[in-house]
Structure 1
């Protein structure tokens, strides 16, 4: 018989000389009933109890929970029966507790090598913290902090770790809020990459550019509670610089289009189309930065150059993707102007509408005709685009001075084919009502003046 002291209390444990030798040689194994002096009882997933033969001196060394329990429940030297420690845990977590008991028997290095999945490590971590196994808890935290997580694992970690206290918080280091200045620097770098226009980079740069554009859009998503980016002057400066590069590249592509189209029509079209796609992307992010006016002003400045190049007779049977994309980009500008998101002087609004309206009137029936002749023709204006452009134009017309409205409506009704698209019936009806109302107000004003004169 041998006495050991735990927590200042002398505990008598009965070991056979075989047990002593086995322990001295470090050969005690988890579940070895022949050398075990304590039993741990858990309930499995089915709710049935399971017993595991363990060794008190190993449990005491690796777990404060077991050390405290054994201090309070010393074994009786008069009986050879083992102590039974009941560990209360949900049945769904019993597998993790069993794994923890096995890990208690391993060296610190072996514990570090034993982790095989985030789910298992997270379960063991909860068990380890409940049983106060400091070494295993530390190893588990280091593993979870270092390895990648998939989306489901991340959700589970975010649900579990905050409930485990400050000790487990290092696991969430990758999820902590970033310094505002660091976030801004990342965003500005992403804007620069998203507006890259050089062609000397390897092919994978296109993928990086697309990814940067996606993330810039995501970072600008409205979130009133936790805004990610403060759109200050530094951010706006980078956005304007990127937009200017895109306009310059687009105009350069238009200037080179005649010569490049002769050499390779597809390559020439792709170059111009890519510039339009970049400008379309800018149309998506600039409203979130309250900078759509920069785009509209830039698009208005180059409109004459665009319409002097693309609709040329030389490209009458080609550049369909470019022509449709031009319509989509112009539609975004019309939407911003027509619904008041971008405020321009009346003269500028009239000029923009007169510049693009003939192109819109001509292209829509041409695309419809192509589609009617060939169902496989891929370049079309879908119904949503048509309705958006038509609604924006009607709204834009109705916000113009009445004399300008009259000229546009008169021009619209001159030829039958122009009545098809865009349909300005809504603007015409409102104009008629306003004109009659204005005349009534004018007559009422004259009558009021006459009556005042007679009275005098």
Structure 2
């Protein structure tokens, strides 16, 4: 992970890996034309980073008539041990030219701290020769360039940019900036580095371009890389979980097209790389919505009548609407948790809500909710049904006490709701939840099942054939209860 507070960036001169490798192949030309490799003790070190020169060029790029520096660029091919023949040929053919001689001007090259160091007295001393026609002192250098796509061309582009202060034509895309920046860093061309970094800060990147940015960030100073790091690396107070939580909150509370937003966030949750993170985010959102629903029902069931009647009624309406709205959010969250198989904590919470279920029974015995939020019982029971189905199907492996309390606490709510009229489209919810409760009861010890089954008599109807789930549950219990202990031991 990249961090703006990491170790201090390495100096570009003396310790930079790109620069060090290049220095080793730069030769100074002696007056007799013999090329000798610059010795290590002549290498510049600790060059201070000061403002770049803003000298206007004294000649044109590659103008042999006025140049006092002759630079030979050549492809520095990897050894045969590093590349096979096909790869070597491919690397060689990937550039337009493999050996280029260009004519430059020393006063222009001063904009590059790299060339400024090479042209200094410390390095040059008597290394230059004199052109017989112009009586100019000519400096000759060889510069090896790594065999990479467009490598020679990128060096030529950067050398041309030494002759101008307008980089806009050359640096006009993220790809171009990424190709030029390594060369500008190698040659310590600060003006060009600054423009490339500034351009990359301001434009979008493809995924591949982002990888290249990440590889170049360690070569930049802390100040130069600050904006790039902020774009690709989270700060201490940023995290994927906070982003997900914010998206969930926006989808269920603030977005005008709530259905579309919820569908999109659901996809993000399904595709999220860490199930543990998604679980923590959903648990947090679940707790928030559940608390709002519980608090609203608590206030509705135990109102403060110190105000006048109209004010109390308005508050009661608000409490019911709040419970209804957040109940829908709760149902969506439960569906997401079950889909991702991270609903274990939610089931434990839902099974330990004796005060909440008591308030629901009290509220549903009242007739006020019918005209205000007629769908509230359905929403609450659907939440219960989703979780109970997941337990009965083994999607959630709940402990015995959790299974017991889930049925024990929510069975009375179902019984109260059955006595109230329901829209025809929701009538199938009751038998579905009844059957699910009976399936969970069948997983409990006989003594616990006996206690709960006696409360399930309300599932019966006039016609016994209409409640086969209840008949099957009692038959199962009696079959187990009449089995002899000896048979149990043999099993």
TM-score tier, shorter chain, comes to 0.5 to 0.7
Question: What residue in structure 2 maps to residue 77 of structure 1?
Answer: 130
- Unmatched 5+ stretches in structure 1: 1-6, 13-22, 198-202, 260-268, 370-379, 445-456
**Contact 1:63 / 1:131 at 8 angstroms: preserved in 2?**
yes
Residue 164 of structure 2 is aligned to residue 106 of structure 1: yes
CA 1:345–1:226 in structure 2 vs 1: closer, same or farther (change >3 Å)?
A: closer
Question: What residue in structure 1 maps to residue 357 of structure 2?
Answer: 300
**Contact 2:400 / 2:444 at 8 angstroms: preserved in 1?**
no
Q: Following TM superposition, by how much is the alpha carbon of 1:90 offset from its aligned partner in structure 2, in angstroms? A: 0.5
Question: What residue in structure 1 maps to residue 408 of structure 2?
Answer: 350
Q: Following TM superposition, by how much is the alpha carbon of 1:172 offset from its aligned partner in structure 2, in angstroms? A: 1.6
Write the distance in 2 (CA, Å) between the matches of 1:24 and 1:183: 47
Write the distance in 1 (CA, Å) between the matches of 2:480 and 2:209: 60
Relative to structure 2, which stretch is displaced further, 222-231 or 285-294? Answer: 222-231
State how 1:298-377 maps to structure 2 within 5 Å.
Answer: 300-304=357-361, 307-308=364-365, 325-334=379-388, 339-340=397-398, 343=401, 346=404, 349-356=407-414, 366-367=424-425
Q: Following TM superposition, by how much is the alpha carbon of 1:241 offset from its aligned partner in structure 2, in angstroms? A: 6.3
Write the distance in 1 (CA, Å) between the matches of 2:93 and 2:367: 71
- Unmatched 5+ stretches in structure 2: 1-25, 32-53, 76-91, 303-309, 311-319
Question: What residue in structure 2 maps to residue 147 of structure 1?
Answer: 202
Q: Following TM superposition, by how much is the alpha carbon of 1:60 offset from its aligned partner in structure 2, in angstroms? A: 3.6
Question: What residue in structure 2 maps to residue 15 of structure 1?
Answer: none
Q: Following TM superposition, by how much is the alpha carbon of 1:187 offset from its aligned partner in structure 2, in angstroms? A: 8.4
Question: What residue in structure 2 maps to residue 91 of structure 1?
Answer: 149
Q: Following TM superposition, by how much is the alpha carbon of 1:49 offset from its aligned partner in structure 2, in angstroms? A: 0.4
Q: Provide the aligned C-alpha RMSD in A.
A: 6.4
Normalising by structure 1, we get a TM-score of 0.55
Q: Following TM superposition, by how much is the alpha carbon of 1:352 offset from its aligned partner in structure 2, in angstroms? A: 1.1
Write the distance in 1 (CA, Å) between the matches of 2:279 and 2:403: 34
Write the distance in 2 (CA, Å) between the matches of 1:289 and 1:405: 23
Residue 488 of structure 2 is aligned to residue 435 of structure 1: no
Structure 1 residue corresponding to 2:96, chosen from 48, 53, 56:
48
Question: What residue in structure 1 maps to residue 331 of structure 2?
Answer: 280
Write the distance in 2 (CA, Å) between the matches of 1:150 and 1:363: 59
**Contact 1:59 / 1:67 at 8 angstroms: preserved in 2?**
no
Residue 70 of structure 2 is aligned to residue 38 of structure 1: yes
Q: Following TM superposition, by how much is the alpha carbon of 1:94 offset from its aligned partner in structure 2, in angstroms? A: 5.3
Match of 1:277, SS state, is helix
**Contact 1:273 / 1:325 at 8 angstroms: preserved in 2?**
yes
Write the distance in 2 (CA, Å) between the matches of 1:47 and 1:244: 66
Write the distance in 2 (CA, Å) between the matches of 1:419 and 1:326: 23
**Contact 1:38 / 1:85 at 8 angstroms: preserved in 2?**
no
Q: Following TM superposition, by how much is the alpha carbon of 1:281 offset from its aligned partner in structure 2, in angstroms? A: 5.0
Write the distance in 1 (CA, Å) between the matches of 2:164 and 2:327: 63
Relative to structure 2, which stretch is displaced further, 75-84 or 164-173? Answer: 75-84
Question: What residue in structure 2 maps to residue 119 of structure 1?
Answer: 175
**Contact 1:42 / 1:86 at 8 angstroms: preserved in 2?**
yes
